[in-house]
Chain A
Amino acid sequence: MSTVRRWRATTRFGPWLLPVLLGLLCLGALGVGPFPVTPAQIVELAAARLLGVPAEVPEIVETVILQVRLPRIAGALVVGAALAAAGAAYQGLFRNPLVSPDILGVSAGAGLGAVLGIFLSLPVFGIQLLAFLFGVVTVGLVYLVATAVRGREPVLVLVLAGVVLGALAGAIISLLKVLADPYDQLPAITFWLLGSLAVLTPDDVLAAAPLVLIGLLPLHLLRWRMNLMTLGDEEALTLGVDAARLRLVFIAAATLMTAAVVSISGIIGWVGLIMPHIARMLVGPNFERLLPAAMTLGAGYLLIVDTLARTMAATEVPLGILTALLGAPFFLWLLARGRHGWQ
């Protein structure tokens, strides 16, 4: 019964404890970096901004906080929360705790779009737009292929179609890498595929956030019905749930969120796989509690990782490398401890 007691405790304290911790993390992340900023200056600036009076901090501090660190922190929060929410949804939908948001090829497709954009020397916005469109279209194609194949196990056909189209996108990415200019384009492609928030602008965050919110809305409204999807189609149908239609809604929502954030951050693995896991260990599998917990954890985790990425070395460390270096051993540790949160 200790599991259930832990869920109860976290369900009671989590709703205020986790956001408080997240707020403290944000304050810490604002403070650290090559240019020192004191907590007092942050509070001072925030208060001045809220009250609409000029802040009594050096101008450079204001620039560092508002123009450099704040958008990046906001980006980390949005990207982390969106990936974790999409991962939690997909793990329920595909009844598999080892599923990540890119199971249906959204990352591979977005990667192809971005690489194509870099290859064609498009401006940053063009690259992001192509990444978003290719991500969404890839999942759309996967869904169409899966509905065209009339199998008995629609979920399995979906996953297989996702693997196949993802591999196809990967092949085209490799082709473009071979053809790309090795001094100018190839490094850009490599960095994009490893993910980074280093060049994130406030506009990027403002463009992605509404799409994330639109995707989040159905996940939130249908949060209880998601529980029924974990039973499989036949049981869900006998309980009166139109499983196929609901799955389409969840896939569309999760794809929108993932494509929106991947197009501004590049491919960041592991967050959408591990954070829902930890959330499930903390609050149990009920999606009503799992969704907010996974999002808060995802936001916090990516904020920590991104802060490490920009402070631990003289040059930026790509996020994809860090999330894997931290995530893989942690995942193994979870497996070894046998506290799965699934059967």
Chain B
Amino acid sequence: MPEWFVLIGVLVIVVGFLLKLDVIAVVIVAALATTLAAGKSFLEFLDLLGKSFVDNRAVSLFLLTLPMIALSERYGLKEQAIALISRLRALTPGRFLTIYTVIRQLTGIFGIRISGMVQFVRPIVHPMTSAAAQSRGSRSESDTETVKAESALSENIGNFFGQNGFVAASGVLLIVGTLTEAGYEVTPELVAAASLPMIVIAAIVAAVHFWRLDRRLTQDTTDASESAVSGRE
């Protein structure tokens, strides 16, 4: 077999994920296809599968953090967070979303796993941003759509550029596992520390983005009221 045959595993991953097949099964099939393409037997595949999965148990260490998070959640973690966020009522939409982004980054840094879209964006972030925008006169359909998209954006940026600041984040542990297996000395706390600069930079980039959002929304409102005025004349 030509050596590029081992790329079949990459192909399996691409096709499997594109077709939205069961991801765990796709990964195992990719491993099987790659091993067979490299000229090894099925038994050798089983040995390799077992050894490499056991060797990488540390990647799932975050499972141990779940009981504490679960208990905190059951005793009002989310409700208290919502109570804190609702105190931010008097802000502009952009400033509110900047603060939410930073709060979401902090939850990531402290390893609090939440499905933010369902638990925060829909019940609290979008309603509060929307109220802030409307009280400043942004009511057009395109503004409404913008406010929705920006609420989701704030959650995604805060989530993506926050989680790796936590030493037991699965992303951090995957980086450590992959590079350690490749023979490099890498530890979770070093990777988490190396993720901090991007967390700060992302917060700044988001703040600038939301500052421009405020200006855009105000611009729209001014245009709208001007045309309303000219309409009356």
Q: Do A and B come from one complex?
A: no
